[in-house]
Amino acid sequence: MTSKENIQQEIEQTLQCLDGVKRAEANPFLFTRIKARMAKKDSVWERTFSFISKPIIAMAIVLLVMAVNGWALLGSDSNNNTTIGDSANVSELANEYNVVASVDNYDYENLTNE
């Protein structure tokens, strides 16, 4: 056998393998599903959440929140040295919110329950 005969024989075998092949068929409901998806109107919330869920937008929001928190933490007024535990501030807070309890009646030196 010559190489041309071998090539011709290989071609015939390949074509015979393709004799039993059928055309591929799609799911009968596929077209209906595609039409329904195309006709579906997205709500405002779906469009908003799909926009926010993009990775670049989500990372930008996280970085923005972290920047605002850092600014609030580090950018507070450094001249205000009073603390919440100061009795004057607590009494002012109690007066403002009409709280009857007072921190001045508690004995910090004697912590027994008498």
Residue-level pLDDT at 16: 84
Task: Compute CA distances 10 → 2, 5, 17, 18, 23, whole Å.
Answer: 13, 9, 11, 13, 24
Residue-level pLDDT at 57: 92
Residue-level pLDDT at 63: 96
Residue-level pLDDT at 40: 84
The pTM of this model reads 0.36
Residues with Cβ within 8 Å of 91's Cβ and at least 6 positions away in sequence, in order, are 102, 103, 104
Instruction: Show the low-confidence residues of the chain (pLDDT under 50).
Output: none
